[in-house]
Amino acid sequence: MSDSSLGRVSFIVLRHMRTPIIVFICVYAICILGMVLVPGLPDANGQTTYMSFFHAYYFLAYTATTTGFGELPTAFSNAQRVWAICCLYISVITWLYTVGKIISLLRNPYLQSAFAEEKFTRAVRKKTNDYYLVCGFGDTGSLLLRGLTEAGYSAVVLELDDERIKALDLRDYPAKVLGLCADATVPRYLLDAGIESKKCIGVLILSNDEEANLKVAVSARILRPGIKIICRSTSVDNESEILAIGGDTHVVDPFRVFASYLSLIIYNPTIQTLNEWMSGEPGAKLDRNICPLKGGKWILCGHGRMGRVVYKELTEREVDITVVEPLVENIEDIADHAVLGRANLENLKRAGLSDCVGIIAGTNNDTFNLSMVHQANRANSSLFSIVRQNRHTNEILFKRADVNFILQPSLVIARMVLFMLTAPLLKSFFTHLRLLYENDPSRLADITNKLELEVGGESPTIKTYIIGQNITPAVCQKLSERAIVCLGDIYRDPSGRDSFLKMVPLVHRRGKTIKVLPPNDLALMEGDEILFCMRPEHKVLLEANLLNAYTLDYLLTGVEPARGAFFRWLETRNTAN
């Protein structure tokens, strides 16, 4: 046990058990002293005998615990028997009192917290693989942990809410996730979570408390200057302060991300569909017709913090949008484009419900959002409805509601952070797609068709491979032999080298040079990074190509190499002849 934990446990035990221990000692002392002073039976010479201190303690030891060995070492006098009865009752009551205090001590939440902290610290120290430290286990943290563990990453969690930590133990993640109920703003808990360890490769700060997130980010940067930090923030001021701590620091604003996704849905559904498909959204496929939404008037319900960002994003794209908001102070700056009042049917009609093409229910109340979309759909059945789902636990209600698109900010943030950690090159891919959409939409359609043809299905695997000795030893061996290994060679089908596995290389990076959709004849070099999009069942075949030198040799030459010394000798002899 660490010194700090030992000190806290000792303090709690002594403070809780001080009175029982004093009472216990006093009762035993009085009883023993009484047994020594009370006269016993006379001896053979007629002299009154007295019990020694040792015998008195021996008698009390088995009497107080109700063991009852009888009158030892000799028969008692009547006076001793009277005192023995008193000792029996007093000591039994004292024992019951002490045991009760011990049980109370074991249920002491502070003592349990100290033991839990010690257990957590020891488990973190024993971790042998790299892990992320996640501060905050709300909806976003829960969804992110699901993605991280399914991608093969490990994590430890600090969460202030004890109920959420209990919920962590019930999650069926592929790997066990260690969690501690603790305030991450206290630096001691960051140390307990192993932030100074080399195994800790990043800190993910995802709580809803802006000030707490800032404090954790600053503490993490001071305790571990070079570590990657990804922090959630919805405040512009906090964001600038977080970025000011420097290093590998990233800020994710859920409101801006939400607004960006809304914009994609309305203006660029093709990229949004690709995004959902690569994210593994249930039911997301590429083999469906993707049509942009028709232009026209939109209604935005709610102009709070998120509503402001959404309104700004959409108006910058020249969307004709009317806001319905119950608080006058929230619409002072957009009074000409707003209707004051709750988003009931009357106010929605005042906002132009009968003529609009879409409605965005974006308040922070799930009940209001579902209610207003339900009312709007009854009045205008052709309406395209986008609804914000705030709590993941309401997923069943939203799926059964008559809405066209559900946006769950916590899920959007979790996916974004997951891609930042597991596939950072994906950002370059989507940036390329946006440029194509604006300049060459037909090329964007070609890419979508290629992904559907080469990969297809649902839930593809997105993974980055770095050409190096640890991950691709077979490729490195060939490169060391001065052989040329092209990109297309490493994902040929080992059962027929003329065909390829079900995958598409999305991005190749060499140093600062990034190439989107690299050609198959690209010669690989050690240190290259390649982002693949593939069918999950073909991942193991690709990794076999990268690991097994014999398999890669066959893929490069088309000739099955001889295995074993005898067959190589025989092959050499046949070649010589």
Write the secondary structure of 264-285 as one string of H (helix), E (strand) and C (coil).
HHHHCHHHHHHHHHHHCCCCCC
Q: What is the pLDDT of residue 334?
A: 86
Q: What is the pLDDT of residue 571?
A: 66
Q: Considering only CA atoms, which of 258, 269, 233 is closest in space to residue 411?
A: 258
Task: Give the C-alpha separation, 245 to 495, whole Å.
Answer: 52
Task: Give the C-alpha separation, 411 to 423, whole Å.
Answer: 17
Q: What is the pLDDT of residue 133?
A: 95
Calculate ∠ Cα 186-187-191, nearest 5°: 130
Residue 69's identity, in one-letter code, is: F
Task: Give the C-alpha separation, 226 to 118, whole Å.
Answer: 27
Query: What are the DSSP E strand ranges found in 338-479?
Result: 338-340, 358-361, 384-388, 405-407, 461-466
Q: What is the pLDDT of residue 6?
A: 64
Task: Give the C-alpha separation, 476 to 467, whole Å.
Answer: 7
Cα distances from 423 to residues 278, 284, 508, in angstroms, run 11, 19, 12
Q: Considering only CA atoms, which of 131, 129, 144 is closest in space to residue 420?
A: 144
Adjacent-strand bridge partners of 511: none
pTM score, two decimals?
0.75
Query: What are the DSSP E strand ranges found in 223-365?
Result: 228-232, 249-252, 297-301, 320-325, 338-340, 358-361
**Residue 133 φ/ψ, nearest 5 degrees:** -95, 115
Q: Considering only CA atoms, which of 307, 356, 355 is closest in space to residue 334?
A: 307
Task: Give the C-alpha separation, 424 to 463, whole Å.
Answer: 10
**Residues 254, 234 contacting (CB under 8 angstroms):** yes
What letter does residue 380 receive in the DSSP assignment? -
Adjacent-strand bridge partners of 516: 507
Mean pLDDT of the chain: 86
**Residues 35, 51 contacting (CB under 8 angstroms):** yes
**Residues 197, 130 contacting (CB under 8 angstroms):** no
**Ranges of H-type helices in 65-108:** 78-106
**Residues 397, 374 contacting (CB under 8 angstroms):** no
Q: Enter the tokens of residue 414.
A: 């979790």
Q: What is the pLDDT of residue 199?
A: 92
Q: Considering only CA atoms, which of 182, 257, 254 is closest in space to residue 219?
A: 182
**Residue 253 φ/ψ, nearest 5 degrees:** -100, 110
> How far is C-alpha 328 from the geometric centre of its chain's CA atoms?
38
Q: Enter the tokens of residue 281.
A: 């959204």
Q: Enter the tokens of residue 335.
A: 């009074």
- Which regions of the chain are under pLDDT 70? 1-7, 69, 288-295, 561-568, 570-571, 573-577
Q: Enter the tokens of residue 503.
A: 């995958």
**Residues 13, 105 contacting (CB under 8 angstroms):** yes
Task: Give the C-alpha separation, 222 to 499, whole Å.
Answer: 52
**Residue 435 φ/ψ, nearest 5 degrees:** -65, -40
> How far is C-alpha 166 from the geometric centre of its chain's CA atoms?
15
Q: Enter the tokens of residue 10.
A: 């000792």
Cα end-to-end distance, the chain, whole Å? 72
**Residue 144 φ/ψ, nearest 5 degrees:** -65, -40
Q: Considering only CA atoms, which of 462, 454, 519, 513 is closest in space to residue 487?
A: 519
Dihedral-angle region of residue 291 (phi above 0 means left; psi in -120 to 50 means alpha; beta otherwise): beta
Task: Give the C-alpha separation, 55 to 50, whole Å.
Answer: 10
**Helix (H) / strand (E) containing 169:** helix 162-170
Q: What is the pLDDT of residue 290?
A: 54
Task: Give the C-alpha separation, 482 to 473, whole Å.
Answer: 14
